[in-house]
Amino acid sequence: MTPDIPDVRTPNASTLTGSLDGSAPPRRVRNLTLREQVFEHLREEILANRIKPGTELTEQALSSSLEVSRGPVREALGMLASEGLVKIVPRRGATVTELTAAEFIDAYQVREALETLAVRLAVPRMGEAALQRLRELQESMVKLAQDGEVQAFFEANATFHQFLVESAGNSRLQEIYRLIMSDMGRYRARSLALRGTLAKSVAEHAAILDAVLAGDAERAAQLMADHIEVPQRLEEEAGESTDLTDQSTTQQGGVL
């Protein structure tokens, strides 16, 4: 099945417009190569789940719909494959990857290892400015949870975790983390359903922050491991093999 890709006028255009269902407004892109524009557009559509897992993406169809040559499309698909977002089969094209329940658990295990390591590395390195930034993010999550702003809460939560990873000062760790989170981003509805309430997530982040502020790297790492471990444990207990993208992302609940 080939998706209905929106028009992208001229190879020199500075925008990629619209979404697969026409719901997103035109957006500006940075000064990127054509290959990078195609890559970022398709990547955003996949991560937003507007291009569904299992969808076939052919060079010819994408080239025609985006009004670009097949070269940039081929290169963009290769970049998506390197992030695990598509699987390329010779002579058949690319297919958007699907994540099984077992792969969901595997991804969480890797994420837990990465983030606990990041916390251990980050805590001794963090100065007052970094600690203040974490305080601000936690305060933001508290307010957003109280207001029921689920989507904004997702963003603040992701920034909290990302900031700790960046504070570790390990570029390879950051690179691997970015890849695993890119793949998991499509399945946050599943994580949301498994974790519980926004209030519970806020409390868990508050405990992690307290340990970081106290300079207790080991306790902060253990609390982070406990926080991340919940969805994978519940998924294992449930033994589910259902479509992990099947649930609404608008329901109120926990986060990745």
Specify the CATH number of the domain 101-238.
Answer: 1.20.120.530
- What pLDDT, in 10s, does the model give residues 80-119? 998 778 999 887 789 998 877 787 788 888 999 999 999 9
Q: Is the pLDDT of residue 243 over 50?
A: no
Strands 27-28 and 15-16: antiparallel
Per-residue tokens: 84: 């695990």
pLDDT band at 49 (very low <50, low <70, confident <90, very high): confident
* Average pLDDT over all residues of the chain: 79
Specify the CATH number of the domain 15-96.
Answer: 1.10.10.10
Edge-first strand listing for the sheet containing 93-96: 56-57, 93-96, 86-89
User: What pLDDT is attached to residue 200?
Assistant: 86
Q: Is the pLDDT of residue 6 over 50?
A: no
Residue with tokens 């939560």: 157
pLDDT band at 47 (very low <50, low <70, confident <90, very high): confident
pLDDT greater at residue 182 or residue 136? 136
User: What pLDDT is attached to residue 50?
Assistant: 84
Q: Is the pLDDT of residue 211 over 90?
A: yes
- What pLDDT, in 10s, does the model give residues 190-199? 555 555 578 8
- What pLDDT, in 10s, does the model give residues 108-153? 889 999 999 999 999 999 999 999 999 999 999 999 999 988 878 8
CATH 1.20.120.530 residue ranges for the chain? 101-238
Q: Is the pLDDT of residue 25 over 50?
A: no
Give the three-state DSSP class for 20: coil
Per-residue tokens: 80: 């998506």
Give CA–CA dist 147/256, Å, rounded. 19
pLDDT greater at residue 186 or residue 124? 124
User: What pLDDT is attached to residue 247?
Assistant: 42
CATH 1.10.10.10 residue ranges for the chain? 15-96
User: What pLDDT is attached to residue 130?
Assistant: 97
Q: Is the pLDDT of residue 169 over 50?
A: yes
pLDDT band at 16 (very low <50, low <70, confident <90, very high): very low
Lowest mean pLDDT across 44-48, 105-109, 121-125, 163-167: 44-48
Per-residue tokens: 189: 């509805």
